[in-house]
Amino acid sequence: MSRWLDFFRQAASRDLQQFIDAIPSGHVPARDSDFVVLDIETTGLNPKRDHIISLGAVRLSQQTIRPANALLQIWQSPTSVGDSALVHGITDEQLLAGTKPEDALAEFLHFAQGAQLVAHHAAIEQQFLRKACLEYHGKACLLPFVDTLELEKQLVVRRHSLLTNDAYQLTTCLQRHQLPAIKAHQAFEDAFGTAYLLLAQLAEFGDDISLQRLRQLSR
C-alpha cells in the first residue's frame, strides 16, 4: 500500500509540475494571456480543518469570456458541510455524488494549464489549493494569482475615492462597474462575475499591463 501511494504521488507530482512549468511569464502583457477565473466554496474559512466542496471556473482567451470553456465541480468531503450549507446551499447528499478531490484537482489543473489564475479575495483560493496540492500531489504550491479585490482597491485610489471594506464585495464591485448582477456564494456564478469584473478592470489599467504588474498589484 505504501509503495502504491508513493507511486501515485510521484505521478501526480508530474502533473502538478507540468502545470507549474506552464504558468505564463510575468513579462506577458494581459492582452496576450489566457486567464482562468475561479471561485471555490468550502466547509469553512480555515484551510487547516476545512475543505473545498465546490469549484467553478471560466477561461478567458483574447480577453473574451467563453461560456463553453467553463468548469463546475462538486468535491467529495471527509466532513459534513454543517452550517456552511446556509451560505452556499450545497448539501451532504450532493457531496456524496461528487468527484473525488484528487480527481477534481487533476481536472482543474488540466483545465487551467497555461493560464493566469484569477480570483476575488484570492487568498482563500490560493491557500485551499495549496493544501490540496500538498495532500494529493505531495507538494505545497502557493500558485501566483491576480486578485480582483486588490485591483479594485488600486482603481479606487486612482479615482481619489475612499470606500469602506464592504464596498469591495464582489456584488458591490460589479454594481459599481454597472456589470450584470450575480447570485453570491455560488461558485459558478461568482467565477463568471469575477471574470466580468476583471475585464472591466483591464480596460481601465490598459491591456498592455504585464502579468507581473497585475500580480504585484494583487499583493
Among candidates 182, 176, 165, 171, which has minimal Cα distance to 201?
A: 176
Task: Write the secondary structure of 126-187 as one string of H (helix), E (strand) and C (coil).
Answer: HHHHHHHHHHHHCCCCCCCEEEHHHHHHHHHHHCCCCCCHHHHCHHHHHHHCCCCCCCCCCH
- Residue range 48-101, pLDDT digits in tens: 999 999 999 999 999 999 889 999 999 999 988 988 877 888 999 999 999 999
**From CA 86, how far away is CA 144, in angstroms rounded?**
31
Please tell me the predicted confidence (pLDDT) of residue 8. 47
- Cell numbers 478567458 correspond to 60
> pLDDT tens digits, the chain, 219 residues: what are they?
456 445 545 555 788 989 999 999 999 999 999 999 999 999 999 999 999 999 999 999 999 998 899 999 999 999 889 888 778 889 999 999 999 999 999 999 999 999 999 999 999 999 999 999 999 988 888 999 999 999 999 999 988 787 888 899 999 999 999 999 998 889 999 999 999 999 999 999 998 999 999 999 999
Find the domain containing 15 and state its range.
Answer: 2-217
Number of domains in the chain: 1
pLDDT recorded at residue 184: 84
pTM given for the model: 0.93
CATH of the domain at 201: 3.30.420.10
